[in-house]
């Protein structure tokens, strides 16, 4: 049975899973759920994902949600190439780096938070954009400190990319979408350059997705 991924071109969490699948060379069918127009709340999709978020990963009749859980599942089922190191301390470090973006930065800028800022506090588009840029910037600054303390060699944990690099690349994708300059974050920018030289990362970028091209008038 082929792997299915319910995702969206702009979803950072879907980006992470697309990279992980590409690194493991696993083909999949992507089903688009337009989270900007609220399709994640449709009854049919609520059956698939009770949290009303993307991505949802479907394999062997099982549905898995939350990008980090999906990436760890991929490592359990298809161990090569590893996305999580075998060593316990290194595995914890990889997870810690991943969670800076997954738990501490990205959740502040997702559609439901942006919508709530407007509805509950009367924030206008400019205020919401400023809020988003702040939290993306915070994540980049944290990564810069961490990568300065332990320089990539050439990836965050050594010779091959892991969930850490996938999530740092995701943070860079957020910076790209908000047109933030990476000049203040040279270690992050250098790692990002190495990641996006790999087709697994480059092809997963939101601007390479069909949905982006349709929305922005590219054919």
> Which of 49, 69, 68, 50 lies closest to 7 in space, CA to CA?
49
Give residues with Cβ within 8 angstroms of 65, minimum separation 6. 49, 51, 53, 55, 56, 57
Coil, strand or helix at 65:
strand
Which of 163 and 53 is assigned the larger pLDDT?
A: 163
Give residues with Cβ within 8 angstroms of 165, minimum separation 6. 155, 156, 157, 191, 195
Q: Give the integer Cα–Cα distance in Å for 172 and 205.
A: 10
Is there a common fold for 3-81 and 88-202? no
CATH class belonging to 3-81: alpha beta
Bond prior to 31 in cis (omega within 30° of 0): no
CATH code: domain 88-202 is 1.20.1050.10
Q: Give the integer Cα–Cα distance in Å for 217 and 151.
A: 40
- Give the model confidence (pLDDT) of 63-81 as tens digits: 999 999 999 999 999 999 9
169 pLDDT band (50/70/90 cuts)?
A: very high
- Give the model confidence (pLDDT) of 124-145 as tens digits: 999 999 999 999 999 999 999 9
Q: Give the integer Cα–Cα distance in Å for 216 and 219.
A: 9
Q: What percent of the chain has pLDDT over 70?
A: 98
pLDDT, average across residues 48-59 = 93
- Give the model confidence (pLDDT) of 183-218 as tens digits: 999 999 999 999 999 999 999 999 999 888 777 765
Beta strand 56-59 pairing with 62-65: antiparallel
| Residue 211: predicted pLDDT | 82
Whether pLDDT at 9 is above 50: yes
Q: Where in the chain are the domains?
A: 3-81, 88-202
Q: Give the integer Cα–Cα distance in Å for 140 and 97.
A: 11
| Residue 219: predicted pLDDT | 46
| Residue 15: predicted pLDDT | 97
Whether pLDDT at 39 is above 50: yes
Whether pLDDT at 147 is above 50: yes
| Residue 36: predicted pLDDT | 86
- Give the model confidence (pLDDT) of 82-127 as tens digits: 999 999 999 999 999 999 999 999 999 999 999 999 999 999 999 9
- Give the model confidence (pLDDT) of 22-35 as tens digits: 999 999 999 999 98
């Amino acid at each position: 049975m082929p792997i299915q991924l319910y995702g969206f071109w702009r979803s950072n969490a879907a980006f992470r899973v697309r990279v992980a699948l590409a690194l493991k060379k696993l083909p999949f069918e992507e089903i688009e759920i337009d989270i900007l127009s609220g399709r994640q709340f449709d009854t049919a999709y609520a059956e698939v994902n009770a949290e009303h978020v993307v991505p949802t990963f479907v394999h062997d009749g099982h549905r898995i949600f939350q990008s980090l859980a999906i990436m760890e599942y991929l490592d359990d089922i298809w161990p090569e190439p590893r996305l999580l190191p075998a060593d316990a301390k290194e595995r914890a470090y990889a997870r810690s780096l991943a969670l800076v973006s997954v738990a501490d930065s990205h959740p502040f800028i997702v559609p439901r938070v942006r919508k709530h800022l407007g509805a509950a506090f009367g924030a206008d588009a400019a205020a919401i954009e400023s809020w988003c840029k702040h939290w993306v910037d915070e994540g980049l600054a944290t990564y810069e400190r961490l990568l300065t303390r332990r320089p990539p060699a050439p990836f965050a944990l050594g010779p091959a990319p892991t969930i850490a690099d996938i999530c740092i690349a995701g943070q860079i994708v957020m910076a790209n979408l908000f047109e933030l300059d990476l000049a203040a974050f040279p270690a992050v920018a250098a790692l990002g350059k190495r990641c996006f030289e790999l087709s697994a990362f480059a092809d997963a970028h939101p601007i390479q997705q069909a949905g982006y091209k349709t929305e922005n008038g590219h054919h």
